[in-house]
Amino acid sequence: MTLIYSEDDSTKTATIAVSGKITKEDYDAAITPMQAFIDKHGSVNFIEIVESFAGFEPSIIWPGLKFDMANLKHIDRVAVVSDIGWISPITKATGYFMSTKLRMFDMSELEEAQAWVRSSA
């Protein structure tokens, strides 16, 4: 699996770790618990750790957009953690169009990213 999902109820923080290509199977395995986590807590935070990224299957584009549109208002903070150079400018550009607080961190700053996300809990 290239997408690993975990939750911390005490801080209302979910973590998504990506390594490789995201398949429909990966997406389906993560989206149901993500939705349940949001439904349970109302307002949540995410940490996205991108170790490597080889794209995603096109079949997850539309379901992903629908999930984002329905849930973005329930996501307070997102920390994106990666050393992949092109992810930082895309993350920053995306942040301008969202009410969610979005911040980029290098892999060496993982603990700082976790602290920043959880500071809103």
Per-residue pLDDT tens for 27-85?
Answer: 999 999 999 999 999 999 999 999 988 888 999 989 988 998 899 899 999 999 998 88
Tokens of 36: 């349940």
Give the predicted TM-score (pTM) of the model: 0.88
CA distance 104 to 74: 20
Q: What is the pLDDT of residue 68?
A: 86
Q: What is the pLDDT of residue 55?
A: 85
Listed in sequence order, the DSSP H helices in 42-84 are: 61-71
Residue with tokens 């923080």: 13
pLDDT tier at 118, thresholds 50, 70, 90? confident
Task: Report whether pLDDT(1) > 60.
Answer: no
CA 73 to chain centre: 14
Mean pLDDT along residues 110-115: 95
- The closest of 100, 47, 39, 45 to 72, measured between CA atoms, is 100
pLDDT tens digits for 91-109? 777 766 677 888 999 999 9
